Chains A and B, each alone.
Chain A
Amino acid sequence: MTVSTSRYRRRLWVNRALMSLSVIAAVAGLTALGIILTILFQKGIGGIDARVFTEMTPPPGSDGGLLNPIYGSVFMTGVAVIVAMPLGILAGTYLAEYGRDARVAVIIRLINDVLLSAPSVVVGLFIYELMVRGRHFSAWAGAMALAIIAVPVIVRTTEDMLRLIPDPLREAATALGAPRWHVISKVAYQAARAGIVTGILLAIARISGETAPLLFTALNNQFWSTDPNAPMASLPAVIFQFAGSAYKNWQDLAWAGALIITAAVLVLNIVARLFRTAEPKR
């Protein structure tokens, strides 16, 4: 009896100790992440005023804003999405509708999942070799690098969402005499629309904060430029340059830019989440 009580007590203690450790780990981890957001907000909010959205990036020591990098980020992200969207949706369609469990589809799925978390700096090198070397840095190259990062995200979500559509729906349409492309475009796409939009939003969120692939494709630009054949500023690249500098006003702008990007990414993620839950599961 005494043996079993002492063993029982030990088991309880082990349990209590390890569960406390888990709570401590959770609290510590969440606090650390909370601190990051809090400091980002504190440092960033001070730098945000109307000038940030209306003036160009300044030389060291004088006032200015982030208008040209904001334009550059929006432009390059936009072009990237326009390129990546059809490619990603079509490839996802192939995997979900035609390929399914065929060996080719399994391999493509695996490679796509690997590319999903492949180092973005390598994508930058790839586009540099492809579009910049021997020519010059350009916004087109930056947009292409971002597109390559966006495609796997869209492929993955499109496939996942199409696979959620029950097959009887497709069979019913086929039984009515609809050809395959009709079944896909009029039935499957319609039913999976919210999910596919979610994927695109997530892809935008992912690429809008990407820095490494832009550093040697679009480079950066101190001035206002809308020429896609020339180097173009982007928020992440400007943050990289300004944060690494020794000038106070540049550092402040870097924080403001960081806050803008984080806010944009969080909003996109939250909207994507709402989109997915708004549509009832079928």
Chain B
Amino acid sequence: MDDAAAGAPTASMNKVSRRFARIDAFFRNLTGFAAFGVLAVLAGVIVSLYFGAQLSIDKFGLAFLWTDVWNPVKQEFGALSEIYGTLLTSALAMLLAIPVGIGIAIFLTELSPLIIKRPIGIAIELLAGIPSIIYGIWGLFVLAPFLQVNVQPWIIDTFADVPILSSLFAGPPFGVGYGTAGFILAMMVLPFIAAITRDVFDGVPSVLKEAAYGLGCTRWEVLWHVVLPYARVGVTGGIMLALGRALGETMAVTFVIGNNHRISSSLFAPGTTISAAIANEFTEATSDMYLSALIEIGLILFGITFIVLLIARYMLYRMELRTGR
């Protein structure tokens, strides 16, 4: 009798808990499936680009990487001028944006009055979200003409007789070119660098800084000897992240790079980058080989940025572990 009384509810409860367990397993698998989707996207990108680039990979082999030729008529392609342009413009951008970005971060964390600290910080974060095509058309209509008329002729004249600089600033002032593209990229990544560096600086424990101030250090000494060593990994990670963005950036560069598949040592010469070449030529690529070569430079771009971003993330993780956030 006891058994019968207790048996009925247990049976139904078993049924309910079995149902719950089934839903539980289903839900868990569903989320796991979605998470693996992220890996699938990565694999999909690599595999599909590889197959898309097959023609060009088979024909040109590894020499594609260091061949400086881009001739759709003769069907001969090499990625050197695009890789050169990509690396050069990004390097220029970093050269300009890192000091200014860190300057902004120092200003925000150490110097600025409290009233403007938050508004400026928010403004910078908002600017980091502005689509890159905005920077692109600004560069095309405002910056390039300005540089062409007001800045480049002067620089060309000034350095005409200086040995190395004269080849760096040679040629007619086109307005568009490597230098202008680097400048626009710098403006685009500036908010990123400033925002991340500020976050990292803010993560430095104030006891450390207070101790240094207590010993009589000046602001600069606290920054140089305490804040920067502590934040180095994080700042480097942030810079690498910005570099990854700069390398892969398309729209900010395409308008102002000049679209010329010739390598030039002059910063004022028109050139091209991987992303600009793809954006400009992809829909005009008439032959399979042309298309395949464009996809292969896309694959190269993905490879470069992937490595840079991986290093960036690794460094930022290490920083997070250290600050315990």
A140 on the B face (CB < 8 A): no
Instruction: Tell me, in angstroms, the Cα distance from A113 to B120 when the chains sit together.
Output: 26
Within 8 A of B (CB), among A99-157: 99, 105, 107-108, 110-115, 117-123, 125-126, 128-130, 133, 148, 151-152, 155
Instruction: Tell me, in angstroms, the Cα distance from A261 to B129 when the chains sit together.
Output: 11
A66 on the B face (CB < 8 A): no
Say which residue of B190, B248, B301, B310 sits within 8 Å of A110 (CB atoms). Answer: B310
Within 8 A of A (CB), among B4-43: 20-21, 23-24, 27-28, 30-39, 41-42
> Given contacts A11-B221, A209-B134, A239-B137, are A115 and B35 in contact (CB under 8 A)?
no
B44 on the A face (CB < 8 A): yes
Say which residue of A98, A115, A243, A244 sits within 8 Å of B38 (CB atoms). Answer: A115
Binds A, one of B63-71, B97-105, B262-270: B97-105
Q: Are B36 and A269 in contact (CB under 8 A)?
A: no
B130 on the A face (CB < 8 A): yes
> Given contacts A15-B221, A39-B142, A122-B248, are A29 and B190 in contact (CB under 8 A)?
yes
Q: Which residue of A lies closest to B307 (CB)?
A: A114
Instruction: Tell me, in angstroms, the Cα distance from A129 to B278 when the chains sit together.
Output: 14
B136 proximity list for chain A (CB < 8 A): 240, 243
Say which residue of B122, B129, B309 sits within 8 Å of A118 (CB atoms). Answer: B309
Q: Which residue of A lies closest to B41 (CB)?
A: A148
A278 on the B face (CB < 8 A): no
Within 8 A of A (CB), among B202-249: 218-221, 241, 244-245, 247-249
Interface of B is mostly: helix
Binds A, one of B46-54, B73-81, B158-166, B167-175: B46-54
Instruction: Tell me, in angstroms, the Cα distance from A212 to B100 when the chains sit together.
Output: 28
Interface of A is mostly: helix
Say which residue of B21, B49, B123, B142 sits within 8 Å of A129 (CB atoms). Answer: B49
Q: Are A236 and B133 in contact (CB under 8 A)?
A: yes
Instruction: Tell me, in angstroms, the Cα distance from A24 to B107 when the chains sit together.
Output: 9
With an 8 Å Cβ cutoff, the count of chain A residues facing the other chain is 91
Q: Are A93 and B129 in contact (CB under 8 A)?
A: no
A202 proximity list for chain B (CB < 8 A): 129
Instruction: Tell me, in angstroms, the Cα distance from A211 to B279 when the chains sit together.
Output: 10
Binds B, one of A56-64, A177-185, A191-199, A221-229: A177-185
B103 proximity list for chain A (CB < 8 A): 21-26, 29
Binds B, one of A30-38, A47-55, A165-173: A30-38
Min Cβ gap B184→A in Å is: 10
Q: Are B138 and A36 in contact (CB under 8 A)?
A: yes
Most chain B Cβ neighbours within 10 Å, of A26, A95, A206 = A26
Q: Are B301 and A94 in contact (CB under 8 A)?
A: no
A90 on the B face (CB < 8 A): yes
Q: What are the 4 tightest A-B residue pairs by CB atom distance, in nearest-first order?
A: A209-B131, A119-B248, A25-B103, A90-B34
**Residues of chain B whose beta carbon lies under 8 Å from any beta carbon of chain A:** 20-21, 23-24, 27-28, 30-39, 41-42, 44-45, 48-49, 51-52, 99-104, 106-108, 110-112, 120, 122-127, 129-138, 140-142, 187, 190-191, 194, 218-221, 241, 244-245, 247-251, 254-255, 275, 278-279, 282-283, 295, 298, 301-302, 305-306, 309-310, 313-314, 317
28 interchain pairs (CB within 8 A)? Answer: A14-B220, A25-B102, A26-B100, A29-B104, A30-B104, A32-B187, A36-B135, A39-B142, A87-B37, A99-B35, A111-B38, A111-B42, A112-B38, A117-B244, A117-B305, A122-B302, A122-B305, A125-B52, A125-B282, A125-B295, A126-B45, A128-B282, A130-B48, A148-B41, A179-B24, A180-B24, A180-B28, A215-B282
